[in-house]
Amino acid sequence: MALIDRVKERTGTDLGDQELQAMIDAISAVIDDRFGPSGPTTVFLGDPLDRDGWRHTLRLPSVVDQGQPIEVVEMQPGNSGEAAAETMLTADDYRILHTGRTLQRLTGGPNGKTYWAPMVRITFTPREAAGMRDEAVIRIMQLDTAGQAAAGLKSERAGDYSWTAATGTERAEAREAIFTWLGTALRGTAMPMA
């Protein structure tokens, strides 16, 4: 089911498709600004001036999707910027640890070394629990749509479901709580959101 249809189903809004899509796009842009776009990303880890290179492991900012391609390039010296200073590693040169959070340098492999080079460029796709971004969009849309409030409804209850119109401050706090939840989920330590 398309995201816009899921939003309509879960919000009960009477807004038109164009308005809903514009809201979804705006929320998605905020999510991308805060957490980076979904899909492949490139990070630089290390210190270009570190000449000793005593790091056996590198901690990634988010969990690697091990089913997607990973490109690891060491740069030594780390501040040269020259292609000749770059070494593309193979999967035999490093090991992924801690469920995709850490890279360990291996002595085996075609480019085996004990320590990482001063600067390392890693291109990878962060692992995301299925639908976490969409779920965050839907939850924020539930806060932002005014369909129920516009009809004069302040609260309702039906079985296990309950809804109460939020004030502007409460809505801002609730949005921030959703962003916090999403950030935790995208870093690979997701907790269920009530």
Looking at the chain, the whole-number percentage of residues with pLDDT higher than 70 is: 81
Minimal CA–CA distance to 11: which of 2, 71, 20? 20
The overall pTM is greater than 0.85: no
Mean pLDDT, to the nearest integer, of 132-149? 80
CB 11 within 8 A of CB 142: yes
Mean pLDDT, to the nearest integer, of 130-138? 86
pLDDT at 156: 65
Q: Tell me how far CA of residue 179 lies from CA of 6, 51, 62, 166, in angstroms.
A: 19, 39, 16, 17
* Domain-wise residue ranges, the chain: 3-37+129-186, 41-124
Which tens digits make up the pLDDT trace of 22-53? 999 999 999 988 887 788 889 999 877 766 66
Strands 94-97 and 102-105: antiparallel
Cα three-residue angle 108-112-113, rounded to 5 degrees: 120
pLDDT at 194: 44
Give kind and range of the element (H or E) at residue 59: strand 57-59
**What DSSP character marks residue 3?**
H
pLDDT at 145: 79
Cα 112 from chain centroid?
Answer: 31
Which tens digits make up the pLDDT trace of 4-16? 999 998 888 888 8
Which tens digits make up the pLDDT trace of 98-119? 989 899 999 999 999 999 998 9
